[in-house]
Amino acid sequence: MAYQYEGFDLTGKVAVITGGNGGIGLGYARGVAAAGADVSIWGTNPDKNAAAEAELQEINPSASALRCDVSDEEQVEESMAAVVERYGRVDACFPNAGIGTQNQKGFHEHSNEDWFSVIDVNLHGVFFTLRAATRQMIAQGEGGSLVLTSSGTAIQGAARGQAYAATKGAMLAMMMGLSVEMARYKINANAVIPGWIDTAMTERLFNWDKFVDNVMPRIPMRRWGVPDDFGAIAVYLMSDAARWHTGDVIKIDGGFSIF
């Protein structure tokens, strides 16, 4: 009898993916939905939510979308409760929602609002989401997976992007602490560092010839990443195949960070 490996089958598992209505989040969602998972994507844009929900339901009819601003603690708690009410459980949480630096000011010119507008979504929102998810996973008593979306700015200098970089660096520290604390509950925690990905967030840069001419030669794979480059890692980290894989920082960047 031929050996069959079923470690990547996500049937019966439920994933929450914030910022799942586009970009890397939608790439995660497509991957886990195709592997059989029930998926709840959260986003703030109703039109993008509806379009992503319809697309995901073509892959797995159980997929759904919720309008949620993760910087609002009450909305996060209500959304997590809605997921549990609908699906009965949560097995994986991808706190992926984030915003980029909202201005091009020098660091010394940043206002408090410039700083906190990024921190509130990218860091406080991750905290609210992970707290709600881990509470549910611990109550279930069957383990789970936490997959944080960090950034190359966490390990490389980014001028005028200190607020964004600070949140992404903090996410790595949060992930490492979670990987130790949650291990007793069979919950693993890992982080993904994407490279330069073709999304709405990077559209302005990718249309800037100077940026393209300087960055593309530094990517050994000689192309921008796309959201679907992240489906497989989402499936793996959510699956039973990754049950002993925790505390890791996984770079998916076409070789950019080592070249």
Q: Are 43 and 246 in contact (CB under 8 A)?
A: no
Two structure tokens written together for 249: 């920082």
Which positions are catalytic?
A: 164
Distances (CA, A) of 124 to 69, 174, 194: 11, 12, 21
